[in-house]
Amino acid sequence: DTAVSQTPKYLVTQMGNDKSIKCEQNLGHDTMYWYKQDSKKFLKIMFSYNNKELIINETVPNRFSPKSPDKAHLNLHINSLELGDSAVYFCASSQGQTLQPQHFGDGTRLSIL
Amino acid sequence: GENVEQHPSTLSVQEGDSAVIKCTYSDSASNYFPWYKQELGKRPQLIIDIRSNVGEKKDQRIAVTLNKTAKHFSLHITETQPEDSAVYFCAASSGADGLTFGKGTHLIIQP
């Protein structure tokens, strides 16, 4: 059973479109995250979400918005996609916000044409 | 915010030798330091972590050391094997704002 699952695995779309990436975890964790990994493999936190508290990395454009229908899901919506949004997006989860290991999903490779 | 520096960016060692990767962090409030291994096209996988109340932790061929005073921590892999080839990331966290990662070390194990 996959602990943290993301869909789709690949997403190819045109500039200016709006798209969503879904994430689900079956670990019973209460905190979920989105990370962006750019072409140089640099991993950067975008959001963390715990008990309806959202913490946003200040460098993330407001075109990106996380949505959590329940504790096991944290989806990522992206409006007006730009070329620079091309990257691999990883969802992760942990039990608690501090001192706990984070488990990553397999990633979604987003390519903007 | 936190800043994590990682060195070297590429490390090539002979199979069977040891590999050491070093990281420094800037935020003295950071108290959790995980290491992740990422193979090509795969997700980052946690290989070992250490909390700030501990100076050293070992798991078979992998060990991590933490020096809180100097704000640096290191990953040590002994008796390296071909399957250890991957990109390794250090990270630091002080709480709810997620992990701050280093830029990664590409470890190459030469046969």
d(CA A69, CA A52): 10
SS3 of residue A42 by DSSP:
coil
SS3 of residue A10 by DSSP:
strand
User: Can you point out the beta strands (E) in A16-57?
Assistant: 19-25, 31-37, 43-50, 53-56
Query: Residues 25-84, chain B: which have Cβ within 8 Å of A?
Result: 31-32, 34, 36, 38, 42-46, 49, 51
A34: CB partners within 8 A, 6+ apart: A23, A45, A46, A47, A66, A74, A76, A89, A90, A91, A92
CA B83 to chain centre: 16
User: How far is the CA of B60 from the CAs of A1, A82, B57, in angstroms?
Assistant: 26, 45, 10
- Give me chain B's average pLDDT, please: 95
Q: Answer whether A22 touches B (CB < 8 Å).
A: no
For B10-28, write each residue's pLDDT tens digit.
999 999 999 999 999 999 9
Q: Answer whether A27 touches B (CB < 8 Å).
A: no
For A17-60, write each residue's pLDDT tens digit.
999 999 999 999 999 999 999 999 999 999 999 877 888 787 89
